[in-house]
Amino acid sequence: MRVLVLCGICLLAACQPTLNWREIRVDSPSLILMLPCKPDRGSRPVSLAGRQVTMSMVGCEAGGTTFALAWTDLPAGLSGPEWIGHWKQATLANMRAAAPALEQPWTAPSLPQGLRVQAAGQRPDGAAIQGQAGYLARGGQVFQAVVYGDRLTADAVEPFFGGLKFP
């Protein structure tokens, strides 16, 4: 009987998808995104491009891949594209990527035009990491949607980037 129960538990565990996509609503700012796991949320002060800003974030980790959406208010005296440029450079530096492998405009329904970047770099322990990030500015705020993992696939990346929208 114990063997049957154990086999049943193993079969149920095997049926659980690694990426269990769900719609997440963020109230402030008002936006919707798709995440493959239950998100954590938080805010904290960070230094970016020599300025102190409050960064808010919602994200999770599933199947060894991290999915996150972060945002800050646009600092006084900077344009959206300028702030996006600083944030992109900080992201590349944090993942020890020399340069983006791909950089292109990011356009999607209900989103203002932004920038999408792909890069390969290193984790703090020296292991290889891949990253894809999308940046956009809207209504005095700047957003970064990012996915990090050992090996990124379209099944993991496209639902995340495609699911971001402003209602």
Per-residue confidence in pLDDT tens, the chain, 167 aa:
443 333 334 333 444 457 899 999 998 788 999 999 999 999 999 999 999 999 999 999 999 999 999 999 999 999 999 999 999 999 999 999 988 899 999 987 778 889 999 999 999 999 999 999 999 999 899 999 999 999 999 988 999 999 999 88
Instruction: Say what the pLDDT of residue 73 is.
Output: 95
Instruction: Say what the pLDDT of residue 17 is.
Output: 57
Do 120 and 128 form a contact (C-beta atoms < 8 A)? yes
CA distance 134 to 102: 12
Instruction: Say what the pLDDT of residue 27 is.
Output: 82
Quick one: 141 exposed, middle or buried, by C-beta within 10 A (0-12, 13-18, 19+)? middle
- What's the whole-model pTM score? 0.86
* DSSP single-letter state for residue 91: H
Q: In degrees to the nearest 10, what's the CA dihedral of 37, 129, 29, 39?
A: 20
Nearest to 133 by CA among 8, 122, 152, 29: 152
